[in-house]
Each structure stands twice: as C-alpha cells, then as structure tokens.
Structure 1
C-alpha cells in the first residue's frame, strides 16, 4: 500500500514540482520507503512507497510502459496479477519488475477502462495516457482504498488523503453543509461528499476520465447488487464458503515482507487465523488489543485461546484513557474527516504494535457482518418486520406506545417509523434524526435545498429496487451498509489507522467473488432460528472451537461509554471551549453544549455514540479550520 498524488492543469500551466513534492510528502506515513515525483508539462504524479512486492528499485513509481506513453501512480494490491501477467506477456508486453503495478499498465493498454473487470484486488490509482491526453482514475469495487479529488475549470487534483490536496494554494477550506448534516446521521459523510466543499471522494466501484479540456466522465463499473437467490443445500453452501474464503485468505498472503493478523478473538478474525495457519510455513503473528476496565467487551481470552490452538505467535497490548487522550490531538489529522467510530483508537494502537514487531502487512476482518447478517440490528429489524408489520392497525399503536418503555429509545424510534410505513433501517451507524439535527443547527442557517439523510437512504433503496425489485428487507439493509457505512466508515477506519503507522491492511472477506456469492445466498441461510451468520458459523464448525464460533457478539473494542468518566467530561468541555467560535457558524451552541453533557449511569450505546460524534467533529474543526 502506498500514497498517491497528482495535478493536471487544464490551461497548460506547468506543474509546480515543489508544490507536488510537498503534497506527496504529506503522505509519507503511507509510504516511508521511497518517494518519487514526475512531471510532464501540465501533468504531474507523486508517489510514496510502502514496499511490499518486489522491494528493488524496479518497483518504484510513478511507473511507465515500455515507451513512456502510459504512466501510473498506484496504491493497493492486485492478487491475480501473476495470472494476468502470463496472458499479457503472450500478447507481447515486456516486464521490468515483479510488481503488480506493471500488470495494471499493460492491461490498461489492452482494455482501456475495461481493465477494471479483470482486476482482483484492492486499489486506487491514476493513469496518464499521453496519446489520448486523459487521466484515468479508479477505486476498487468495495472501496477498500481511498481516492480523493478536486475538480474545477482550471485543474484536477487527486490524492490518497484529503490533507495532501489541501497544500494547493487555489483551494480554500470551506465546510460542506450537506456533508455535515449527513455526518450527524450516518457517522460519516457519504461519497462523493467530503467535509471540504470542493473536495470529493470517488465512490467505490467507480472510475473517472479527465481530459485536457476539463471534461470529466464518471462511471460505475461494479455495484454490490444482490441477484436471484442461489438454490443450494446447507452442505453446498458450506463447501462453497470454505472454498472461496480459503482462496481469498491465501491470495492475500502475497508479500515479500513479514505478515500478521489483527485478532480480536471474535469469529471473523479467528477465521483469518485458522485459514492463514493452513497456508503459512511459519507461525501466524497475531495482534490483540484490550481496553483496561472494559471487561464486558474484552475478548482477549478467546484471542489467546485461538492463538494457542493454531500455534500462533501472540502479541497483545492493553490501553487506557491516557492512551486515548494521547491520540485525540492527531485523530482528526489521520482520518481527514470526522469518523464517528471509537474503535479508530484501539485500531491505531494495534497497527502501532504490529509495526513495532516488524510487521507491515495485516489481515483484518471487516465486511463479513454485512455479507452474512452478523449484526444484532439486522436481526432486530427482521424480527420487527416478521412480528409487528402483520399486526392489525388497532394493535399496532398500543404496541408502539409500549415500545418506548420495553425496547428503549432507538427501537421505539424504529417502531414509530414502522407504524407510519416508513423505511425502518437507515444504516448501521445511524445517530441523529432529522428532528434532532434541526434542534442542533442554528435557526438562521439556510438549509434550503438540503437533502435529508432519510431522503438519501430512500434514494439508495429506490436505486436497488429499480434494478432488483424482489430485494428482501435483508437485501436492502446489506445494500445500504455496503454503500455507506462499510466503504466510508469501517474501511476508512481500517485504512487510515493502519496507514498512520505504515502498515497495510488486507480484507479477505471483501474478495469480490466471495461478496457476489454471499449476496445471492438465501436469507434463511444467513438468519435462521434467530441465529445471525447462521451458514457462516456452520461453515466454521470443525475448523474453529465451538466456543469461539458461538460466543455472543461483542463488537471490536466494545463501547465508547467505557471512556465516559470525569476526565473525558473535562476534556469535552475544554474542546468545546476551543471550538465554540467555529461551532457558532452552524450550530445553536447552547443546544450543542447541552448534548455534550452525559450521565454515564443512564447512557446507552447510541447516546454515547452521539456524544462521540460531536467530539470527533470538534477535534476536526480544531485541526483543519481553526
């Protein structure tokens, strides 16, 4: 994994190499091993290298084809590059290195943008085609690798991280109000929006073509669309899952440097260890983090047990509030935008531990809960649809009124939407409702023309149903999370926190062929007899201990509530004081401040996450706009 950056001036103004070098050096944490900047008149590419495959000088980027007419700056890994290399060689292409980078170049020469259909991996790249005078940029199917860009009448600028675009003198730091509003609801700004008004994310499964006249074409080449359900027995599904998963994990062992795995002790990370141990001659290096005092969510017992069971080299670290506070000042810098995910911090320390132990490539478990219905929220919605929807109207309202006392605020809100025949699932990290946001924003703020987050979700559901009308409620929930929460929150957490420590994260559960298969599995193989991830758990029987497979889901690093003590309250107050003049531009500061007050004994996970989201927002304002 690496860091990429580039500038394309449409007015033929030569690229300022010193500026491009500064942009590229902002990404030094993504690529500590090498740096190169190339410019060809009004075009310039920069690259920071984290050497993983072919550690020699031949692997340096930007890299070109044989005659220098096609250049690439690339971040990621292509796991089928050796098979593609053989085919391309037969067509006369010459290779100068053992890298997967050259394969992308030659495949582009053969197929143009169609090359994306052949790539199996995680990537973000830009290619300069000197003959066609066009830059071709792409992001992988699921959005594992980030790609940010600015486009105007005068120029196209791109980079792996937003902060590498900001040094350009033509850019101003203005907040995007629509992104801010969506963040409060979704815990992240959904693509293509970012918190910066003139900087965008390239959506997962999309590519850009940018010509010298400034014309930009954006197209989708893949979507996480469910299809007609596969007719198969449990035994057939188990065999297919094992085969595809083992192949995906084995492919992601491709590396010329030391390898490891993040092991929480939960099902997904333990699955990584089990299959990695089958394919590695040396012991698997496992890395676990636990939070002091967070005993309810501590899975280190299972992590140690799994490590012993597979003769792995177990490494662990325990962190406390001082460790959290030690990262607060830099958290927003590493994430570029507010990410309302408390787990960013333990992920950071896990990656730091791995790097200290000499490991620079890590397998992680993100994505599996979405594919196989692993979330309790999915189960709750499915049960609501099964038992509440069929009730007569006369009974629905009394049940709705009782839900506040029996189920808590979050499910009461969900039941209220069901009672009004509205979409009940608005995302796995949905926090502030539209009504709550209205009370937070200051009354004089012009919200005319803003898209509500509920309307945004409805648009995603409409797109799904227009292409696959028979989509089930579970299909809809999975599709929504694969479009918003997974690529822009969970995958950016994995990318930004590992890359902050110069560690590459690989995600075997997001092999696109495994994803496509999982999306077509019948719902009753994913959620059966109130068992989440039913068929996936069955497929691990005989491979993992049953106590690991069927342990209650705890969630990585647990709950933000663990940090909500007097020290954190004091830190919140000081951060509010530091950012209050900035907050006043958009918020009713009295209501905002009131939202920061909490009663730890009476606070649930969702209310704690709301406090954390506002805290993350303040950290970002302090870092980027103050």
Structure 2
C-alpha cells in the first residue's frame, strides 16, 4: 500500500509542477514511509510514496515504467491472484524486472489499454501516463476500497490518495451484476459454499513479503477472517483488538481473547481508554475531510499498536453491507413497497417513545407536535429517502432547525440527490433487501467505513485488506435468497452459521456489538472542555453555519445527561475541529504541514 499524487497541465504548458508534487508526496509520507519517487514528462508529474509489501527491493520502486519508458505508473493497492496474469504476459514476450503486482498493470496496459480494468481484481487506485498518446488514466477499484481524489484548478488536474495532498472525462467501468439468482437454498448448503469461496478470497489477500496480521474483535466478521486466514496458511496469525478497561459496555477484549484462544491465534489487545483527546486530534487530522464517524478514534489507536508488529492486516469490513449485518435497517416500513399503514403504526410507537424521552429539549406538547409533523412528512418521501434517515445523524427536519436560514434550502436540495435515493432508483431490478444493501454498498460503506479504514491504518503505514469485498464473493452474495442473510430480525445468518462450525453457536449468535468508543461518556467528561470550546456560542456564531440556540440546546441536552445525542454532537465537533485545522489555518496564511507535526467515484476511471 502506498500514496500517490500528481499533476497534469491542461493549459498547454509543458513545464511540470515537480516541486508541487514533491510537496504533495511529503504530506503523504505516512502512507508510504519506505521510499519516494517522482517522474516528470512534459505536462505531467507522477509522485509516489512507497510502503513496501511485495518485492522489498529497489526493483519495486515507483513510479514504474515498461521496457521502453513509454508507460509510467504510480499505483496504490494490491492485486489478488495475479500469477496467471504474469504467466500470460510472459508468454507474450514481456520481461519483468520485479515481483510486484505494479508491473502487472504496466504490461496489461500495453496489451489491453483501458480494458485492463475489466481484467484485474483487487483494491487499487492508480495514475498511468501513456507517453505516446500524451494521455493520463486515473482509475479506482470497483468498490472504492482505495481512495483517489482529484481537482481541476488553475489549468491543472491535481490528484492524490488524500485530500491534503484539457479535457477530462469520467465514466464507470463496472456495475455490480449478481450471479444468476439462486432458487431456494438451505442455510447449511449456503454455508458450505460460502466457506469455499471465502477461503479462496482470504488466501488471495494473504499474499505479501512482510508479516500479515488481522484485527479481531470477537465478532462474527473478524472471527471468520482469522479462521480462514489460519486455515489458508497453516500458521498462527497475529491478531489485535481494542480494549476499554473499566467500561464493560464497550470493552470487547474478553470476547476477542476467547475467540483467539479457540482459533489459536497469537493475540494482543491495546487499552485505548487513557487518552481520548489525543485519539480525537489524530483522527480529525488523518481523516482529511469533515468525518463524523467516531469509530475512527479506536481504529487509529489499534492501527498504531498493530503496526509495531506487522505491516499488513486483514479486517472484517464490508460483511455487514454485503450479508445484511444491520437488521434494524431492513424493517418493512423502510423499504420499497412498504404499506403506509404499517409505517404509521411504527410512527405512533416512535412518537410515544419520543414523547417519553425528550431529546433536543423544549416543551412536551411542542416536541410532540414537531415530531408528528416531521414523521407525517416522511411518509410522503420515497423509499430511498426514508431509508437514508437510518444511515445519517441528522434528518432534513433536523437541519431545518440546526442550520442558518441561508443554508437550509441547499441542504434539503442535496439530501436525496447525494445519499441513497439514486442508488434505489438505479437498481429496481433487485429485491428489497438487496436494494437496501446496494444503497449501503454505494454510500455508507465507501464514504464512512472504507474511508475510515484507509485513513486510520495508512496514517501509521499499515495496509488494511478487506476480503469480504472480494469482487467475486460480492457478486455471489447478491445472488443469494434474502432469507439466507436476514430472517426474523437476525442479520448475517449465513455468516453466523459458518462461524458456529468453528467456535460454537453461543459465540456465533452473540448479539452484534459495534466497534466504537464510550463516546457518550467521553463527551460528558474527558472531552467536555473540547466540546464546550468548539461548540460554545461564541465559536458557533463565529463559524456562521449553525443556529447558536439550536446547537446550545442539542449540546446541553447531551452534556446534562437528559438524552444520548453523542452521535450528533460528535458530527458537529468533528466538523468544527476540521475547519480549524484545515480552513482557518490556510486562511491565516499557514499550511497544514506534515501529519505528525499537527496536534490536531467508486469503480470509475478518468482520462485526460
């Protein structure tokens, strides 16, 4: 895994922005601490920061070229099961100078051009310069596992693995097409087939010339990864978990140790309860963008601990979005074809709960009337819009209260457009459960989970691999009957059945426990001074985005213990801290600098 950056002049100029790209690479040093490389050719500069995983010699240095220097590549990622491609290319006369997967892409491009994207499998983002055609190809893997950002500004196309750091066209090269739908299928038969397919996927993800470990929470997903990895290698795997000593509600380390003991992994846990302020500072910096996902905090701490022993980790990310791990998101009233009567019954129950546990404050009758009005408006929304409310911290009605007047119309206009309705509309061919999962796959998985995993692991030079997002496994999973994944409120039935064969049913069917910090308590105690400073009236007025009274009511409701609004408070807090770090500093004439010096299109290709 690495970091890529570069510049292409679109104004006809031929003087390359070498120093600009060198500076961009400097900001990405945490992604690739082992080496740096640049290649300039007329209007283009390719930059690279290397994290050596395959072929640790200098032969694997990037940017990498072909035999005659007409194709240059800056690449971040990992191809899986590429030995067959190498043999095919050697049979066609290509000479390899390294044992990397990077060189596979270079030579495949010589043979296939852009069509190579349909042939390779893995997680990747790359920039490829065709010197003969004077053309730059930017591409990202099908599911958005690896990041790629770009901007067209000042007559230049700039691109990089992270935000800090002529004619442009963008087009998708892949759309998920499930295998032929399966007929009725027993859970046992599905588990048999899953074990075989998942075993192949994990085995392909184990290829490396450096030590490989895994994150292990003791939950279904990570436990399956560890079991399959040890079976694939026949060796004990190094596993890592986060601990929160003294907080039994959040501490899963005992579950992780129990699973590690059964599976026989070499396990260690890292206590992250001691310094939440430092975790927050690092998470905000390395996220690059306003990022309101609090599980980034423990992941950064866990990644730092794991990096001391391994250079690659496997994770269980993607299993929930592919195999229906969030059953509460699939209640009938939230999906296509839902009956309004059923939804109103749910609304009445929710209203009663809301009336009993006032959230934002305000008088009881007023809050009741506000909730009733909001929920009746939601009834008129399309299925995707209603479903989106289960994925987000704030509804459109919340934003009407929270935002300053001049921003409310813009926020409401972009609500459905940028979230999940377009994914619902695009896949009317799928059943209700698969349609919701597709929306998650294209929205929260990419923009939250995979973003979090990439930024927090690469912040310490640790490569994370996600075998549940193996392309063939995903296409197979979407062909399965919905009941194999979700039934009677039990999510990931197939995965639980497969895991039960390894660790027993008690562990496999344990209630889901999210990977998170004791956020509600931290915001009221250790992080309270940060909250009061960043979200106090003076700070909110100065920022000019939110209504000070609404923010005050929200924050006070949480800090006083009247309600758990930790998710909403954290979203606002993360935004303000990001603004201070990246916007205010630049506006004041400063720079963001190197990461450790600061305190605090998925499946698409682009060409130019």
Q: TM-score range by the shorter chain?
A: 0.7 to 0.9
Distance 2:425 2:358 in 1: 28
Report what 2:496 is aligned to.
537
CA shift in 2, pair 1:576/1:99, >3 Å: same
CA shift in 2, pair 1:415/1:246, >3 Å: farther
Taking structure 2 as the reference length, the TM-score comes to: 0.87
- Secondary structure of the 1:21 match is helix
Give yes or no for contact 2:71–2:130 (8 Å, CA) kept in 1. yes
- Secondary structure of the 2:38 match is strand
Distance 1:543 1:74 in 2: 37
- Does 2:542 correspond to 1:592? no
Q: Of 469, 493, 496, which aligns to 2:455?
A: 496
Report what 2:577 is aligned to.
619
Q: Of 462, 466, 472, which aligns to 1:513?
A: 472
Q: Of 436, 439, 464, which aligns to 2:427?
A: 464
Distance 1:434 1:400 in 2: 17
- Secondary structure of the 1:339 match is coil
Q: Of 378, 382, 385, which aligns to 2:332?
A: 382
Taking structure 1 as the reference length, the TM-score comes to: 0.85
- Secondary structure of the 2:78 match is strand
Distance 2:147 2:535 in 1: 30
1:80, distance to aligned residue in structure 2 (A):
2.1
More displaced 10-residue stretch of structure 1: 541-550 or 238-247: 541-550
CA shift in 2, pair 1:397/1:77, >3 Å: closer
1:225, distance to aligned residue in structure 2 (A):
5.1
- Secondary structure of the 1:521 match is coil
The ranges of structure 1 where at least 4 consecutive aligned residues each deviate by more than 6 angstroms after the TM superposition are 383-386, 407-415
More displaced 10-residue stretch of structure 1: 471-480 or 33-42: 471-480
- Does 2:226 correspond to 1:273? yes
1:315, distance to aligned residue in structure 2 (A):
0.8
Report what 1:603 is aligned to.
563
Give yes or no for contact 2:334–2:387 (8 Å, CA) kept in 1. no
Distance 1:420 1:432 in 2: 18
**Bigger relative CO (Cα 8 Å, ≥ 6 apart):** 2
Report what 2:305 is aligned to.
353
Report what 1:339 is aligned to.
291
Q: Of 322, 327, 330, which aligns to 1:371?
A: 322
Q: How does 1:130-145 map to 2 (within 5 A)?
A: 130-145=131-146
- Secondary structure of the 1:452 match is helix
1:131, distance to aligned residue in structure 2 (A):
1.1
Q: How does 1:20-419 map to 2 (within 5 A)?
A: 20-152=21-153, 154-164=155-165, 214-224=166-176, 229-234=181-186, 235-320=188-273, 322-356=274-308, 358-379=309-330, 381-382=331-332, 389-390=338-339, 397=344, 400-406=347-353, 416=376, 419=379
Point out where structure 2 has 5 or more consecutive residues left out of the alignment.
360-370, 585-608
Report what 1:7 is aligned to.
7
Give yes or no for contact 2:2–2:50 (8 Å, CA) kept in 1. yes
Distance 1:68 1:461 in 2: 45
Distance 1:25 1:505 in 2: 21
Report what 2:395 is aligned to.
433
How many residue pairs get aligned? The number is: 565
1:583, distance to aligned residue in structure 2 (A):
5.2
Residue by residue over 1:365-415, the C-alpha shift from the partner in whole angstroms, topping out at 9 and shown as x without a partner, is 110011111113224x237669x9557x5x875663343224889998997
Give yes or no for contact 1:4–1:74 (8 Å, CA) kept in 2. yes
CA shift in 2, pair 1:579/1:494, >3 Å: farther
CA shift in 2, pair 1:589/1:314, >3 Å: same
Give yes or no for contact 2:522–2:528 (8 Å, CA) kept in 1. no
Report what 2:601 is aligned to.
none
- Secondary structure of the 2:275 match is helix
Point out where structure 1 has 5 or more consecutive residues left out of the alignment.
165-213
